[in-house]
């Protein structure tokens, strides 16, 4: 596909013609199928083509069985951020598949604060490669006003930092710190902060000691897959990071810009509003599939999804309205005739994983939604206009690895008094106990003597490069890492952090799953590298808007099309794509090509 050398020979005519073919079986693709049947009718036929061996895309689920205990954790998308702020189409789909957030919250009311009740707090690990020696610093037990997460004067007393570094940290978490940008108005300060990285702000404006700034080198990495060197200081202010209380910027209005396509703001603030199932948003994917292909599972309700089994061989059966074809790569998509007049679109497919597939098969759709990774679309649809191809190529995805480690017990966490640990100088920047959440028959681990899953997160920032260049370089690093290298780092890091609590990596680790996402988070616009209008407005000049224009009977979905990695963006883009197709079907005078109507 990349080199344009696809040989269109030995093509098997399947004689399969569907009302809609969806390329991509992630949340956006599943949602597109749902919206299409909702609007066009349940009798319409839909084929969903997915190159992986499971549905859900980034909404992936990991399962373990340890000493008779069934453990589940997300292997990708963790949560719904502020679902009460979801757009109407995302809200609609949650209602259609019977997601009941209030019932879920009620179910987990007693365990929601389990770790805090057990005295487990957040912590910061100083590693000897950057600081004088290894040291785990738990959050202070004092609920002081001058405290940010794990940083406070009390907590820092024994930290391996100079006195200046300690005092600088105490200063920037204080609610009464100085104004570091005197002489500028609040709007001027905000514009300056939008074009200055958080790292540079701390070093050059707030004058924080470099050994203290190193604590923030992974700031925002879990959201943007790059650290504080590529995070605009204005984003850090909106997200609640320290160093801004004296600038007179005012309060960040609740939900400020949270609905703006791009995902940079608002919902990234620390909040109790996030909702996550034990397997993250894989529960949403499973609910969607149970509605689209009811024969694949007996499970129907939200609670059923905790322990639900799926008969994968029933996902792609003849004579059912919706078929999900896993392990299948869409290679080439083209109208059967001129895009303006064609009645069908042909999709050439091959088994995923075969470097030189012996057989290429063809299916046809009266309409097609490409809900896949948008950067691949120019290769898949070579007849697209050149400007649209260029726009599709812009959004480089962020690489990230979610590693889930099943432990036979979590006594060490209990003894050390921590539930989540930030490790800004180590291989994995986050180490977290699985949230104590239950879903129906799937019960949360509550006893430190019993098994649990630990989540470890690694991003691949490459300071010194632009955000897009960091993504490309980081992806190369990720794809070059073997499982053995991951395992070595996992065992070493957990041993160093938890060893003082009695942890033994050889004895206590039961299983490891590494979820590599070389093309993970959708690209979001960044005011260090892109025009301010792209970041703070919904201008049609943004590449994602130019990229997602309909092309004949082909429409483009996926969260990439909204320049946002959030689940509600994936749903919204699916809805838009389906409506674009159905509008043209109903009103044929609507332009089939990018650039507007023919009237």
Positive or negative, the CA dihedral 583, 585, 587, 592 is: positive
The pLDDT of residue 543 is 96
Domain residue spans in the chain?
A: 11-55+315-394+529-586
Positive or negative, the CA dihedral 151, 129, 410, 272 is: positive
The pLDDT of residue 7 is 72
Which residue(s) pair with 418 in the sheet? 121
Instruction: Describe the crossing of helices 88-96 and 567-586 by its angle, rounded to 10 degrees.
Output: 90
The pLDDT of residue 261 is 53
Which residue(s) pair with 360 in the sheet? 11
The pLDDT of residue 259 is 54
Q: β-strands 418-422, 121-126: how paired? A: parallel
The pLDDT of residue 267 is 47
Q: Give the helix, strand, coil percentages of the chain, each rounded to 5.
A: 35, 20, 45
The pLDDT of residue 85 is 80
11-55+315-394+529-586 is a CATH 3.50.50.60 domain = yes
Cα 374 from chain centre: 15
Contacts with 559 (C-beta within 8 Å, 6 or more apart), sequence order: 28, 522, 565, 566, 567, 569, 570, 573
pLDDT per residue, tens digit, the chain (599 aa), is 788 777 766 788 999 999 999 999 999 999 999 999 999 999 999 999 999 999 999 999 999 999 999 999 999 999 998 888 888 999 999 999 999 999 999 999 999 899 999 999 999 999 999 999 999 999 988 767 788 999 999 999 999 999 999 999 999 999 999 999 999 999 999 999 999 999 999 999 999 999 999 999 999 999 899 999 999 999 999 888 999 999 999 887 665 555 555 544 444 444 557 899 999 999 999 999 999 999 999 999 999 999 999 999 999 999 999 999 999 999 999 999 999 999 999 999 999 987 777 789 999 999 999 999 999 999 999 999 999 999 999 999 999 999 999 999 999 999 999 999 999 999 999 999 999 999 999 999 999 999 999 999 999 999 999 999 999 999 999 999 999 999 999 999 999 999 999 999 999 999 999 999 999 999 999 999 999 999 888 899 999 999 999 999 999 999 999 999 999 999 999 999 999 999 988 888 777 777 653 33
Cα 521 from chain centre: 5
């Amino acid at each position: 596909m990349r080199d344009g050398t696809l040989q269109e020979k030995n093509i098997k005519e399947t004689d399969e013609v569907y009302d809609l073919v969806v390329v991509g079986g992630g949340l956006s693709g599943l949602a597109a199928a749902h919206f299409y049947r909702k609007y066009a009718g349940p009798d319409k036929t839909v084929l969903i083509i997915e190159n992986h061996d499971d549905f859900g895309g980034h909404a992936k689920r990991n399962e373990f069985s340890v000493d008779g205990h069934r453990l589940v954790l997300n292997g990708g998308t963790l949560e719904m951020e502020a679902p009460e702020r979801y757009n109407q189409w995302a809200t609609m789909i949650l209602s259609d598949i019977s997601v009941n957030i209030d019932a879920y919250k009620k179910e987990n009311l007693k365990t929601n604060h389990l770790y805090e009740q057990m005295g487990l707090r957040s912590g910061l690990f100083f590693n000897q490669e950057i600081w004088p020696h290894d040291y785990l610093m738990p959050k202070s037990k004092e609920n002081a006003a001058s405290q940010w997460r794990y940083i406070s004067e009390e907590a820092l007393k024994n930290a391996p930092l100079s006195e200046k570094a300690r005092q600088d940290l105490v200063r920037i978490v204080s609610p009464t710190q100085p104004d570091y940008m005197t002489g500028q108005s609040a709007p001027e300060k905000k514009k300056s902060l939008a074009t200055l990285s958080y790292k540079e702000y701390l070093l050059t404006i707030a004058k924080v000691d470099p050994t203290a700034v190193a604590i923030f080198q992974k700031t925002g990495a879990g959201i943007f897959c790059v650290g504080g060197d590529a995070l605009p200081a204005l984003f850090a202010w909106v997200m609640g990071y320290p160093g801004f209380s004296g600038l007179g910027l005012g309060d960040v209005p609740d939900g400020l810009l949270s609905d703006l396509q791009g995902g940079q703001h608002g919902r990234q603030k620390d909040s109790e509003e996030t909702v996550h199932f034990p397997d993250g948003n894989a529960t949403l994917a499973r609910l969607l599939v149970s509605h689209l292909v009811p024969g694949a599972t007996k499970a129907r309700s939200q609670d059923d999804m905790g322990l639900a089994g799926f008969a994968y061989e029933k996902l792609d059966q003849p004579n059912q309205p919706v078929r999900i074809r896993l392990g299948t790569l869409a290679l080439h998509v083209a109208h059967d005739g001129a895009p303006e007049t064609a009645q069908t679109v042909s999709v050439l497919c091959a088994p995923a994983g075969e470097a030189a597939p012996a057989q290429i098969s063809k299916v046809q759709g009266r309409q097609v939604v490409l809900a896949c990774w948008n950067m691949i679309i120019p290769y898949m649809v070579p007849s697209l206009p050149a400007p649209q191809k260029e726009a599709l190529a812009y959004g480089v995805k962020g690489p990230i690895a979610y590693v889930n480690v099943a432990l036979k017990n979590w006594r060490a966490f209990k003894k050390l008094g921590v539930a989540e640990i930030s490790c800004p100088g180590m291989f994995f920047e986050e180490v977290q106990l699985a949230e104590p959440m239950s879903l129906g028959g799937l019960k949360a681990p509550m006893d430190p003597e019993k098994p649990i899953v630990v989540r470890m997160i690694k991003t691949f920032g490459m300071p010194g490069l632009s955000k897009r260049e960091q993504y490309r370089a980081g992806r190369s690093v990720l794809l070059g890492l073997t499982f053995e290298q991951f395992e070595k780092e996992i065992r070493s890091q957990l041993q160093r952090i938890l060893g003082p609590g009695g942890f033994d990596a050889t004895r206590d680790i039961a299983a490891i799953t590494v979820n590599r996402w070389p093309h993970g988070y959708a690209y979001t616009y960044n005011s260090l590298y892109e025009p301010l209008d792209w970041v703070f407005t919904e201008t049609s000049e943004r590449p994602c808007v130019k990229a997602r224009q309909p092309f004949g009977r082909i429409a483009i979905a996926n969260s990439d099309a909204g320049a946002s990695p959030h689940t509600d963006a994936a749903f919204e883009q699916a809805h838009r794509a389906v409506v674009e197709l159905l509008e043209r079907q109903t009103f044929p005078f609507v332009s089939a090509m990018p650039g507007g109507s023919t009237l």
